Structure 1
Amino acid sequence: MIRFNPQRLLIYLYVALGPLGTLLTPAFLPKSFRSYYFVLPLFPLFFRIVNERIAKIGILFLPLLTYAFFSSAWTECLGKANEPHSLFRYGLLISQFFFVLGAASVIKNQKELVSFLKTYLVFFYVSLLVGYFFFFGYYLKIISLAQIARCSILVQFGWGLLRFSPGSYPNEYGIVSSFVLSFMLLIYFAQKEAQFGLSKKMLYILFSLTFLAFLLTTTRAAYLSFATSLLYIAIKEKKRLKRLLRFFLLITAIFGALSYFEINMFTILRTGFSQKIHQGSFGERYFMWQTALERLQGHEFLGVGFTSLTNIHDVYIQLLLELGFIGSLLLFGGLFLSAIETFFSLKKMNPLEEEHRFFTKVRVVGLINVLSFAFTNHNLNHHMTWFIVLLNLAALREAHAALELAKK
C-alpha cells in the first residue's frame, strides 16, 4: 500500500508550477501572480518534520526576518515604497524561506533529488513549448500580442524581436534557460542521460531548443551568467573538453540558422554589450542606483525600508540600502554562521563519490546563475532563486541523513 505523503506532494507542486510562471494563473488575479504562490502558505505542514541542522539555519535568520518585517511595515505605513504591496512582497519572501527549509528536510537522498530535478525539467519544457507557440504564432499571425499578454507578465521587443518569455519576464526566463543549459551540459559530461530519462539524441534536441529560446530572450545578464557557468564547467571537465566542442559546434550552427532568417546574434551581442554607461537599460539602472543612494542620506543606520526599492535592479545594492547598517549586519551575520554550519556538515561527506561531485556541480552552476544575475536584476523572490537554495539545503539534509545512518 502506497502511503500518502502531503509534504512530498507539496514539493512536487512547488517544483512543477514554478517554471510555468503565470501560465496557469486565474485571470481574476494580478498579472504577476504565479500559480506556485498557492502552495507557499502551506509551509506549516513541514514544521513537525524539519531537520535539526536546517532548523538551525532558519533560527540564524530569524533576527533579520523580524527586523525586515518592521522595516517593511514602517515603509508601508509611511507610503514610501516605490511600488505598492510592500508587505505582500515580504510575505512572499518569508513564505518561500520557510517553505524551502521544510522541503529540504524531506529530501533525504539523491534518488529523491533526481526525481525533483526531473520534474523541474519536464515543466520547464512545457513552458518552452508554450513559448515557441507564442513566438511563432505571433509571426505567423496565428496569435495576437494581446492574447500573449494574457499569459505573460511582460511582452517586450528587443532588437526588433519578440522577446521569449512564456509566463514570465524575458530577463527571468533568460536566466532560467541559462541554468537549464548548464544543467544539461553537466548531465552530458557525467553521462547521466538515462538517470534523467533522456537519450543522447533527445538531450541534443532539448539543448538546441533551450539555447534558441535563451538567445531569443535577448537578456545580456543571462548571457554573461551562462558564459560564467560554461567557464566553470570547462575548468571542472578539462579532461573532457573535446566533448564540449560538440556543443560549441551546435551553438555555431544555431547562430548560422538564425542569420538565415536575418537574425544576426553577433550584432545583437556586440551592440548590447557596447552600450555606453548612460545608454539603454544599463543607463536606466545606473541612474536608479544614483537616486537610491541619494535617498539613503540620513537613513544610513536603519535603511530606507525593506521592499521600498524593488525597481533598483541590483539585489546587493537594494538590500544594503533598504536594510541599512543594522539590517545588513544581521544579514551578513546569518550568512556567515549558516555558511560555517553548512561547511562542517558537508565536510563529512565523501567528496570523491561520483554522485556527490555531480550534484555539487549542479548546485554551483545554480548559484553562479542566481548570484551573477542579482547584480543587474531583482531576483530575490524568483522561483529559481529559492529552488537553488532548496538544492543547497538538500545537501545539508543529505549529509545529516548519512551521518545518522553511519551511527546505526
Structure 2
Amino acid sequence: MKKIFSNKILSPLNNERGVAALVSIILAIIILGSIAFNFIAETRQKQSGSAMTYTSTNALMIAEAGLRYTHKCLVAEDVSWGCPAILQGNTDWTTITSANNFNKDFGGDGNFAISFPGHVNNNEGSIYVTSTGTFRGAQRSLSRFISKVCVLGENAITSCVATSTKNNSFIDPPLPDPPVTGECPTDPPGIVDIPADTSDCSSNCGGPTCPDFVYNTHAPAPNRILDPSFTQFCNFELEDDQVVKTNEADHINILIGNNFKIKNNAALRLNNDAADPLDGTKDTTITIYNKADFQNNGEIRVNGTLTLNVAGELSMKNSSRINNSQGEAANASAWVEGNATIKNSSLLVGSLSSDGTILLKNNAEVQGALFGNEVSLKNNATVIYTGNEDAGTNTPGYAQCVSGSAAPIWSE
C-alpha cells in the first residue's frame, strides 16, 4: 500500500498548463505563417508594381524620343537619320497628314508611333504631332505642336540661352519673370537659315558678272541711282557722304557675295521716289554672304520694306542707323547667322534675329524685337518694344519665323 501512494497524481491545473502551452505553439506557428505569407505576397506585389512602373516610364521616354526625332526631321535635313521623305525640307507642313504616320522600332524592346491627327491651328510652319511609346506592353502618348523656327512679336527679347542686362540698360516693357526662353533648333539650320549662294558671286566674286561696287560707275551722277542692270556685287562699300538710291521699280533683290559696308555719313536709300519720298510700296531684300558693317553715321533708309539677310556677322557702331527715316518697325527685319553687335548710339528700327549672340551696348537702341541664341544689354542699351509689337511683320523675310508660344507645350 505504501508503494501505491508513493506515485504522484497530476492535478487538473497541470493539465490546463500543458494544453495552454500547446495552443500557444499552434498560434505562434499560425501567426508566423501569416506574416511569412503576407511578406511574400507584398514582395511579389512590389516587384510587379516596380516592373509596371519601369515599363511605363520607359514607354513615356520612348514617346518623348519620338517627338524629338520628328522635330529634328522637320527642321533639319540629313539622309542618315532615316526620316520620312515628306518631313525633310518640307516648306508647307499642311501637306503632312495622317497618311504620313510612321513607326520606329528599338530592337524589339520598344517602339514609337508618330501620328499627324490634324488640328485647326496647323499651318505651313506649325503642326500638331502625337507620339505613342510602347515598351514591353506598356503604352504612353505625348502630343505637342512643333514649330519651324522662332518666336517674334510676343516679347521685347527672346533668347535660347540667356538674357542679361547691366549698367542701366532698359527694356520697355520689362521682360517676364522668369524671362522667355525660346526653343532653338540645332544649327544648321538654326534660327536663321540663309540659302547657300548659287550665283556667279560664289565662283567668280570680283569678275564681270559680280563686280565690286564702284560709286561713279554703278551709281553715276547726277542722280546717283543704282544701275538697274547690276543686281549683285562682290563687295559693296559706301563712304564719306556718298549717297546711293534705288529706283522704286528696280532692285527688289540685291546680292552681295562678300562684304557690305556703309560708313562716314554715307547712305543707301531704298525705293527712292522723287515725286513722293515717303511713298515706298516695294519690298527690298539684301542678302550678304559675309559681313555687314555700319560705321560712323552710315545708314540704310527704308522706303517700303527691307529684309536684310547676313550669312556672317552684323556690326553697327558710332551712330549708324537702319530704318530710321520713317521709323516703322514693321518695315524692317534683319536675319543674321553669326553674332550681331549694335553699339555707341546706333539705332535699329525693326526686328533682329540671330543664331549667335546679340550684343547691345553704350547707348545702342532697338525699337522692335530681338530673338537670339543669347542676348546681352550693357551700358545704357535700350530695347523699346511698346508701340513696336509688329516689328518686322511687313517684310517678306518674316515668313520664315513662326509666331507662337515660346516653349513647347507637351500634353499626355
Shorter-chain TM-score category? Answer: under 0.3
The higher-RCO structure (CA 8 Å, 6+ apart) is 1
Q: TM-score, normalised by structure 2?
A: 0.22
Higher helix share: 1
- What TM-score comes out, normalization by structure 1 length? 0.22
Q: Which of the two has greater strand per residue? A: 2
